[in-house]
Each structure stands twice: as C-alpha cells, then as structure tokens.
A and B are shown apart, each in its own frame.
Chain A
Amino acid sequence: MISLIKSIVRHRTALVGLILLSLVVAVAIAAPMIVPYPEDAQIFHIERRLLPPSSEALFGTDRMGGDIFSRVILGARTTLLITATVVLSGVLIGVPIGLVAGYYNNGVSLMLGGGVEILLAVPQIILAIAITQSLGPSIGSVILALSVTYWPFWARIVFTETRSMCHETFVESAIALGASAWRVIFLHILPNIASSIVVRTTTAIGTTAFASATLGFLGLGPPPPSPEWGRMIAESRDYLPDAWWYALAPGLALLLTVLGCTLFGDGLRDILDPKTRRGG
C-alpha cells in the first residue's frame, strides 16, 4: 500500500489526476460550507439575472439570477452522488457476473457471456435515455438507468481477465489440488485481476460523469432548478452569445472531473500493470 502511494506520487500523470479528482470530491463534500450563496440552488433573485462575472458572482449569474459559481459547486454533489452510486453498482453487478462467466465453462457461463455481449451491442446512451424517460426525471432514475446500462463493461473486462487467468499455472494447480471454485475465484483470481478492475473503475467514473451530464443536457436529469451541470449547459443555449459565461463554469467543472479520472486511470494502469505499460 505504501509503495503504491509512493509510486503514485512519483508518477506525475497519476499525481495530477489524483489531485484533480480529490479536489472535485473535496469540493463536493464541503460544498454547503464553501459556496458564497448556498441557498441559490432553490431561492432566486430574478432582479439579478444574467449578470456577467464580477467580484460578487465569480462566474456570473444564470437566467433565474442564481450565482453560477455556487450552483456549479453544488452541482458537483449531484454528479458525484450519481457517479459513485452507478460505479458502485456497476462493480457489484458486473464483477461477480464476469467472474462466474469467466471461471466456468458451461451453459450458464455461455449465456451470461452472450448476454453481456448483446447488452454491449445496444447503444447504451439510447437505452439510458429511454429508461430515464419512462421513470420520470429525477436523480434516482438517472442512477437506475445508468446502473442498468453500464455494468456490462465491468462484466466483460472481468470475464476476459478471468478466462486468461484460468490458464495460469497457479490457478490450474490450485484447481488440481482440489480447491473449491469459490476459493479459487476469490483467493487466486480476484486478487490478480483487481488491478484491472481498479483501472477500469477509475476511467468509468469519468465516463459515468459524462453520461449523467449528457442526460441532463438532453433534459432528462434531475428537474430544474436542481444544480446539474448538463442541464445548466443546455439552459445557457437560449442566452448565447450574450451570456457567454453561462456554460463556461459547468463545462470546465465537467472537464476537470473527467480529466482527473483519465489521468489517474492512465497512471494507475502504468503502476499496477507493468505488463501493458504503454511507454510511460
């Protein structure tokens, strides 16, 4: 563990990514304490609407007179809540299915593997939009829609890794020594593919943040006036080009989040998985 932290600190990409990611998380958690106008998620001052950035409103105000700076920071909570839940359920659903499908070689695993392949052939975003719409716009339906549509990514990677792991000598010998399937899976295979799962999960945080913002942008996320980055960007379209500041902060916030995940994910892959190290 300590050596891992050391390598992260030494690895510039990973470090930058980790710092960005921690920043977003820290800001999201501390949001109500640090924003200048915490009530701006709900209460409005329409006499101050569409003002350009100033010392009072760092990123300007929106169409309801809300402080965009405050709303972007409060929006980080929305994004984080959605992302964390979706990624967690993706791991909880996808990893066991991938392990079982990969370890066994029978009808059940064939069906699971085939099912995963089929689900991956369905355009995720359309499926997610359709599910969100039929459930009605709320944070809950976004979480459900993305959890249902994104877990196959984990399942596939775990499936592939498990399959190749089954041909490793130490796994074959464990099986030959009569270890139970559960023992082999959890004591021999899982620890060895954990690094792939961690790397995949890190990048998935970024992808999920993207997907949830996309739903918000299309008008399917949490309803207004919830501070949600995608919706804020969509709202700004009616007020361009005059209100150029409107979409700036939410877009940059999303960029920093995804950037953090990509960089940290890249770095982790280099550190944890020297086999596939791709030129530093």
Chain B
Amino acid sequence: MATSRREILKFGLLGLVLLAGNSDDASAQSRTRFVFANSSAFDSLDPHTVFDQGRAAVRFNLYDGLLRFVDNPPKLIPWLAESYTVSDDGKTYTFRLRADATFHDGTPVTSADVAYSIERILALGKGPASFYLDLIKPGSTQTPDPHTVVFNLATPSAIFLTTVPNILVVNSALVRSKEKDGDWGAGWLARNEAGTGSYVLRRYEPAVGWSGQRFVKHFAGWAGQPIDQIEFRTVQETNTRVLGLMRGDFDGADGLTYEQIQRLRQSPNVQVLEAESMRVFLLALNNSKPLMNDVHFRRALAYAFDYDGFIKNIMKDSVTRNPGPNPVTIWGTPPGLKGYSFDLAKAREELAQVKQPLRRITINALAGYSESEQAAVLFQSSLRQIGIEADIDVTPWAVVASRFAKAETQADVTPVWRSTFYVDPNNWVGEGFGTRYHGTRTMSYYSNPVFDQLLDEALLTSDQERRRELYEKMSQIVSDDAAGIFIYNTRWFGPYSTRVSGIRFSPGTNGNDIRWATMTR
C-alpha cells in the first residue's frame, strides 16, 4: 500500500532529522513556545465559572474584559472598552467599545456580546456572579448601539469599576448556537473557547492542559517579539514542576513552597522573579457558630497562633506579617494596627471570660497546600496548651469553597488565602466581614451593624479620602473583634526559564497574562 510506504519513509526521515539534532520542522523552528506547569487542573475552560487564581491563565489569555489590570501596584487600563462614563448618581456606567476588536472567528465584538456575557454570568450564578447578583438585574443592561453598552446598577457602587475586568466577553452568536436545554452553552464552553483573547485555543485535553496560538489580529496589537505559542499543562506533582523547570522542559511554574524556590535558585536555567503581592493568608473563623460567636473566645484563638514561629520556620522568613484583613500593600489599614501576637498567657485570660461551655473545634485545612496543613497542625498544637481540643479535616479547595457557602457548613477555622479578585480593600475586609456578603463571598459570617453601616457608606461614596477612613475603621473593628486571624501577606515567587523576559506581574493575574512577555529561541 502506497500510504504505508510513505509512512515508513516519513518515519525514517524523522529519525534522520532527529539524528541531525533538529526536533522540529523549519517553520516551527522560528516560533517561540512557552510551556507553563500549572499546579491546578484545567477541568473546565468556562470563563464565567472558573474563578480561582490557580486557573487564571484561561481567563486572561483566551478572553478579554472591558478593562484590564496590569502591573504592581495594579492599575486599570482600557481594554475592550476605549472609554467609559459614570452618571452623577453613580448608578449608570456607559462603556464605549473599540470598533476594531474581533473574536477569534472574525466576528466583530459588539455591545450585544457584552450584554450576553453579563446575563450569562448572572444566570450561571458562579464565580464572578457574586459581585453582580445584587447589583445588576437580569435584562437591565442596555445596548443603545453596537459599540455602546450601559450597565444600570441597582445602587451606586464604589467598587463596580474595579470588578469590570472580570466580565469576560464571549462570542454570543457562537455560544448561543451551542446552547443545550437552556444551559447557556455551559457544556460546550467548558471544553471550547469563544473569546477575543491574545491567544486562540489550539488544543485542550483535561488531563494534559491546553495550548494556545497567538491571535495576530488581536485588537491591542503586538509589540516587540511576543511569544507565539503558549501551553499551560496541568502538573499536580510538585517535584515534576521543579525538575521540569530545572531541566528546561517547562518555562514557568506555580504552587511551589519556599524550599523548592530556594532549590530552583541554584539552577542555571531558572530565574526567580519576586514581587510583594496582595494575597492574605488567614485563619478564617466562622463567627456564627456557638462559642465562635464569643469575642473572648476568638481573641483567645488569635493569641494562640505562633505567628513568628510560622513565618520564621515554616515560611523561612519569605513573607512578612500582615496584622489586619487587608494586605499591607494596599490602602485601608489604619497606620499602626498592631494585630495579635503569640501570647498564651493572654489567651488564657481571654478564655477565662468565655461563658459558654468549651467544645472541640474543627480546623479545615486545604488539601495539597502544605502551608495550610502545617498552619492547622501548629494551631492545634498550641490550642491544646490552653485547653482547647481541635480536629483537623483536610479537604480540596472545591469542598472548602462549597462549605463557605453556608454558615452551617463553614468550619470553625479554615487556614486559607484571600487572593485579589479586584483591587480595593473591599475585596478583603468588606467582602470578608460584611453581612451583605453572607452566603456569597464572606469568609466569616461575621455580623455587626456598626461595621455594616460603614460598609454601606463605603460602597456608595466615591470620595476616596472618606473611603480610606471607612475601610480603616472597618479593619480596626475586625481586628478588635478578632473576627479573623491574619497571618501574612504573600510574596509572589515566579520561577521562569532564563530565556523568558518581560513577565508583567499583577496581583490579579499572577504573571499569567503572557501577551507582554518575550522569549529567546
């Protein structure tokens, strides 16, 4: 058979090429390929349901929002929208879209796509939806002309603008054609892509990861020598990521402990970028449970964590203490907020004032994150010294997240990170402790009318000085009430191949926005 002979010939030639030291054909030779070892699995590519930072690469490379965050400290730049206006009452946001933006299939981006995307977010009710469920009524978004979209908010919102980068725009015509039983194309979009992003999805295999080809016609244009092909592989085994970086199989990786970063620093193939990030590691407390609703008990807990020991020995001094709910790198924390220190004598004093009978408490650590587990074990060990017994439960993030959805199911204590979803203190202290976020973005089920009043005002006013004052007050209240136990602010370590340059780190994207980077061949 002719074909089989050709196959054999091809095979032989391939062998020759291999022997000659060329592993790819000529056209691929001149292109650059960036391979990232991602610690979280890309089980779904849907930009409106996937919302954790571990899978941010999907959102920022395949899709675009009206605005985008770049750099550190983060700044908001126009993206799919070229300009916007806000009405005087702060309730109407009008965005003017760029005229030249197209989806990957060539369809121009119109206001109808933006409207469809926000409706889809609201209907699916996952991920970014919690920002908008109270703020935007389904059907309220208007499209007066193809390049103008108007969001009509139910109330004024000081933070709406900073959440806009999360409204990623999907190709409405394409997604509509894939809808099945009113699922808003959820089944299809979990495995396919319908965006405008800087990269076009080329291949996707849930077990392996995904790869994207540079979208040459991207509206933002291209400068310098951008990377032609990006691959995000799911590599859950930590040592595979480390070894792959050292060997040069991977050009970047995430989810490494400080010990592993130190090991990578010794490799000639690896450079380690660093930046002070905005990601607070805290022991989230469920303030609604019996005993946990007693401020003295919570203070006793706050005095019983060995902050210095944890930072010095387990984090190897790679991070700094963060005394309050907001990262120290953003405004909104009162100057000189002290927080708590490790002091078992004070803890016992507070415990003596607790009226309710003591009970065992539960610490829910995150599976696969050894720092969370170690914080749990360390805490359990010092709690025992003041007579509080704790059980540790280790579960994956998805389970922790679903437990956070109800006051009855959130564990007493959860060692967890609060990442940047938008750059405003409201992302931490506001959402974490405001009553209005119960069941959506709270981490505490804390409820305090005084706090809520401050929060209501802070969300409505646009006076920056006033907002600073309000968020500082809120932080002080949360700290005094020990509504959460705040440990450190994350330092971002980005291990990259020495061939890579121009990684543009921003707390929201974690450096996963690849369009700005360059690579030598």
The reply to whether chain A is a binding partner of chain B is yes
Binding site for B on A (CB under 8 A): 42-44, 46-47, 49-50, 63-65, 136-137, 219, 223-225, 235, 237-242
Please count the residue pairs between chain A and chain B whose beta carbons lie under 8 angstroms apart in the complex. Answer: 58
| B384/A42 in contact, CB under 8 A | yes
Residues of B within 8 A of A50 (CB): 259
8 Å CB contact of A225 from B259, B312, B392: B392
Q: Separation in Å of the B41 CB from the closest CB of chain A?
A: 16
| B313/A46 in contact, CB under 8 A | yes
Residues of A within 8 A of B259 (CB): 50, 239, 242
Binding site for A on B (CB under 8 A): 237-239, 257, 259, 263, 306, 309-310, 312-314, 365, 367, 370, 373-374, 376-378, 380-381, 384, 391-394
| A219/B310 in contact, CB under 8 A | no
| A223/B392 in contact, CB under 8 A | yes
8 Å CB contact of A44 from B238, B373, B378, B391: B378
| B314/A46 in contact, CB under 8 A | yes
| B309/A47 in contact, CB under 8 A | yes
| A224/B381 in contact, CB under 8 A | no
Residues of B within 8 A of A63 (CB): 314, 370, 374
| B239/A64 in contact, CB under 8 A | no
| B313/A47 in contact, CB under 8 A | yes
Q: How far is the CA of A140 from the CA of B237 in the complex (A)?
A: 30
Given contacts A64-B378, A240-B239, whether A43 and B384 have CB atoms under 8 Å apart is: yes
8 Å CB contact of B394 from A65, A137, A237, A242: A137
Smallest CB-CB A-B distances: 6 pairs: A46-B313, A223-B392, A225-B377, A238-B370, A44-B381, A46-B309
- Binding site secondary structure of chain A: loop
Residues of B within 8 A of A240 (CB): 239
Q: How far is the CA of A242 from the CA of B258 in the complex (A)?
A: 13
| A224/B377 in contact, CB under 8 A | yes
Given contacts A43-B381, A63-B374, A242-B263, whether A49 and B314 have CB atoms under 8 Å apart is: yes
What are 22 of the A-B contact pairs (CB < 8 Å)?
Answer: A42-B381, A42-B384, A43-B381, A43-B384, A46-B306, A46-B309, A46-B313, A46-B378, A47-B309, A47-B313, A49-B313, A49-B314, A63-B370, A64-B377, A65-B313, A137-B393, A223-B391, A223-B394, A224-B377, A224-B392, A237-B237, A238-B370
Residues of A within 8 A of B384 (CB): 42-43
Residues of A within 8 A of B238 (CB): 237-238
8 Å CB contact of A136 from B367, B373, B393: B393
| B381/A241 in contact, CB under 8 A | no
Q: How far is the CA of A43 from the CA of B239 in the complex (A)?
A: 29
| B310/A223 in contact, CB under 8 A | no
Apart from A137-B394, A223-B392, A224-B377: 10 A-B pairs, beta carbons within 8 A? A43-B384, A44-B377, A44-B381, A46-B314, A49-B314, A64-B378, A64-B381, A136-B393, A224-B373, A224-B394
| A223/B309 in contact, CB under 8 A | no
Q: How far is the CA of A237 from the CA of B240 in the complex (A)?
A: 11
Q: How far is the CA of A239 from the CA of B242 in the complex (A)?
A: 11
Residues of B within 8 A of A47 (CB): 309, 312-313
Residues of B within 8 A of A65 (CB): 313
| B374/A64 in contact, CB under 8 A | yes
Q: Separation in Å of the A48 CB from the closest CB of chain B?
A: 9
Given contacts A47-B309, A238-B238, A239-B259, whether A224 and B376 have CB atoms under 8 Å apart is: yes
Q: Which of B239, B263, B306, B374 counts the most A-chain CB atoms under 10 A from its CB?
A: B374
Closest partner residue, chain B, to A65 (CB atom): B313
Q: Which of A137, A219, A238 counts the most B-chain CB atoms under 10 A from its CB?
A: A238
Residues of B within 8 A of A219 (CB): 367, 394
Residues of A within 8 A of B263 (CB): 242
Closest partner residue, chain B, to A225 (CB atom): B377
Residues of B within 8 A of A241 (CB): 239
Closest partner residue, chain B, to A43 (CB atom): B381
Q: How far is the CA of A237 from the CA of B381 in the complex (A)?
A: 23
Closest partner residue, chain A, to B369 (CB atom): A238
Q: Which of B309, B310, B377 counts the most A-chain CB atoms under 10 A from its CB?
A: B377
Q: Separation in Å of the B431 CB from the closest CB of chain A?
A: 29
Closest partner residue, chain B, to A66 (CB atom): B377
Q: How far is the CA of A49 from the CA of B370 in the complex (A)?
A: 14
Closest partner residue, chain A, to B376 (CB atom): A224
Residues of B within 8 A of A64 (CB): 374, 377-378, 381
Closest partner residue, chain B, to A137 (CB atom): B393
Closest partner residue, chain B, to A243 (CB atom): B259
Closest partner residue, chain B, to A136 (CB atom): B393
Q: How far is the CA of A137 from the CA of B364 in the complex (A)?
A: 12
Residues of A within 8 A of B367 (CB): 219
Q: How far is the CA of A5 from the CA of B125 in the complex (A)?
A: 70
Q: Separation in Å of the B316 CB from the closest CB of chain A?
A: 10
Residues of B within 8 A of A225 (CB): 377, 380-381, 392
Q: How far is the CA of A224 from the CA of B384 in the complex (A)?
A: 14
Q: How far is the CA of A40 from the CA of B459 in the complex (A)?
A: 49
Q: Separation in Å of the A65 CB from the closest CB of chain B?
A: 8
Q: How far is the CA of A16 from the CA of B92 in the complex (A)?
A: 83
Q: How far is the CA of A136 from the CA of B395 in the complex (A)?
A: 10
Q: How far is the CA of A20 from the CA of B309 in the complex (A)?
A: 41
Residues of A within 8 A of B306 (CB): 46
Q: How far is the CA of A49 from the CA of B259 in the complex (A)?
A: 12
Q: How far is the CA of A47 from the CA of B367 in the complex (A)?
A: 24
Q: How far is the CA of A137 from the CA of B439 in the complex (A)?
A: 26
Q: How far is the CA of A136 from the CA of B394 in the complex (A)?
A: 10
Q: Separation in Å of the A211 CB from the closest CB of chain B?
A: 20
Q: Separation in Å of the A166 CB from the closest CB of chain B?
A: 50
Q: How far is the CA of A46 from the CA of B315 in the complex (A)?
A: 11
Q: How far is the CA of A168 from the CA of B69 in the complex (A)?
A: 84
Q: How far is the CA of A235 from the CA of B365 in the complex (A)?
A: 14
Residues of A within 8 A of B374 (CB): 63-64
Closest partner residue, chain B, to A63 (CB atom): B374
Q: How far is the CA of A224 from the CA of B415 in the complex (A)?
A: 14
Residues of A within 8 A of B377 (CB): 44, 64, 224-225
Q: Separation in Å of the B39 CB from the closest CB of chain A?
A: 12
Q: Separation in Å of the B151 CB from the closest CB of chain A?
A: 43
Residues of B within 8 A of A42 (CB): 381, 384
Q: How far is the CA of A49 from the CA of B393 in the complex (A)?
A: 22
Q: Separation in Å of the A49 CB from the closest CB of chain B?
A: 6
Q: Separation in Å of the A219 CB from the closest CB of chain B?
A: 6
Q: Separation in Å of the B37 CB from the closest CB of chain A?
A: 15
Residues of B within 8 A of A239 (CB): 259
Q: Separation in Å of the B379 CB from the closest CB of chain A?
A: 11
Closest partner residue, chain B, to A50 (CB atom): B259
Q: How far is the CA of A31 from the CA of B381 in the complex (A)?
A: 21
Q: How far is the CA of A219 from the CA of B373 in the complex (A)?
A: 12
Given contacts A44-B377, A46-B310, A64-B377, whether A223 and B370 have CB atoms under 8 Å apart is: no
Q: How far is the CA of A277 from the CA of B489 in the complex (A)?
A: 67
Closest partner residue, chain A, to B384 (CB atom): A42
| A237/B239 in contact, CB under 8 A | yes
Q: How far is the CA of A238 from the CA of B240 in the complex (A)?
A: 11
Residues of B within 8 A of A235 (CB): 370
Q: Separation in Å of the B218 CB from the closest CB of chain A?
A: 39
Q: How far is the CA of A177 from the CA of B70 in the complex (A)?
A: 93
Residues of A within 8 A of B237 (CB): 237
Residues of B within 8 A of A238 (CB): 238, 257, 370
